[in-house]
Amino acid sequence: MSNVETILPSQWLGMVGGGQLARMFCYAAQRMGYKVAILDPDHFSPAGAVADKHICAAYDDTAALQQLAELCPAITTEFENVPAQSLNRLAEHSRVTPSGEAVSVVQDRIREKQFISKAGVPVVPHCVVHSMEDLLKADAALFPGILKAARFGYDGKGQARVQTKEQALEAFANFGQVACVLESLQPLEDEISVVVARSLDGKTAIYTPSHNQHRDGILAVSTAANPCRLTPYHEQAKTAAIAIAESLNYYGVLCVEFFVLADGTLLANEIAPRPHNSGHFTIEACLSSQFEQQVRVMAGLPLGSPQDLQLSKMFNLLGDLWFDEHGHHQEPNWSALLALPGVYLHLYGKNEARKGRKMGHVTLLAPNAKQLQAKALQVAEILGFDWYE
């Protein structure tokens, strides 16, 4: 984009969505002097409690979209399942980053994989499934595999591990025979993600890749690698993430998740057209956070520095922590947690703890890997993470 107009502090920025990512965006924007209006249908949304204005309406509500566009010269979104046509409608009046077209590509796993491959980045071996016949014809090399619904899947939802074609047919039927992608299971050595910000003038800022560990399809722990000890596949991932952002003509903050195979092969898994859970470490661990970058891009400001200040590790806090082994409500031991130096607690203001629900996260900082691991073990013991070693 040329001749980009800068939106100065004291003006309004818009956000479609009211979850925890929007809440953290509000904090970053307000710290920089902006006012934030959010559009979200939930009266008790996490961001609604902290935004300067909450337009409580559906994401496709014509009057609400008009109100947001008239108030905000720049608008962004916090999640990929917002109707792309709503972003396109907002773009008739306001600067929208990322664009509705960019978001629409990653709303559908089929289009997403086709796009990533076209951008020259390898993806997991897979086949597109529109019918039972497609599964019957699927290459035997794709089994065992994972059947994923093409749309509206996140945190392990809309996915099923399948060992055989019979299991795949059953899972496809359980999904209501919606369009799917069948991916072959890979011998994973690592799972990493890369967060990149791309400004309106095409410049990029990229963060240290993070090593991710999942439990039940949900990110559990994310560790930002030492930038002085990045492996060749970390550098390859950074190059691939920038290539994807440029090919997508993307403006804003983008995360690309990668699989690293046992032989060192790097495969792109998914794109998130927004700040990402694995990038929360940037709030305390970097000079400019992923949320500050989101503000800077939409306002037409120069990108901030992604430089690490210290090594970091992030634990997701799921609603399970609020219940004991008998299912009775209990509050986690925040006092013991916050007695540790270099530990930062983020709670998202959600009014009800439920198992599997992201309620917050905690970030740990340390000057070296040994101290970081020691601190992580202390945090895990306090929070009762008996699975963490």
pLDDT digits (tens, 9 = 90+) for 200-242: 999 999 999 999 999 888 899 999 977 666 678 899 999 999 9
Three-state secondary structure call for residue 215: strand
What integer best gives the mean pLDDT of the chain? 94
SS3 helix, strand, coil % of the chain, rounded to 5?
30, 30, 40
Q: What is the mean pLDDT of residues 252-281?
A: 95
Over pLDDT 90: what percentage of the chain? 88
Q: What is the mean pLDDT of residues 168-184?
A: 95
Phi, psi values for residue 294, rounded to 5° = -60, -40
Residue 318, pLDDT score = 96
Q: Per-residue pLDDT tens for 128-164?
A: 999 999 999 999 999 999 999 998 765 556 889 999 9
Three-state secondary structure call for residue 211: strand
Q: For residues 315 and 210, is the Cβ–Cβ distance under 8 A?
A: no
The residues, any chain, with a CB within 8 Å of residue 100's CB and separated by 6 or more, are 84, 85, 86, 87, 88, 91
Q: For residues 95 and 75, is the Cβ–Cβ distance under 8 A?
A: yes
Question: CA–CA separation, 4 vs 202, rounded Å?
Answer: 11
H or E stretch at 39: strand 35-39
Cβ neighbours, 10 Å, residue 56: 16
Residue with tokens 């994923």: 148
Q: What is the mean pLDDT of residues 63-91?
A: 96
Q: Which amino acid is at 155?
A: D
pLDDT above 90: residue 179? yes
Q: State pTM to two decimals.
A: 0.94
Residue 77, pLDDT score = 97
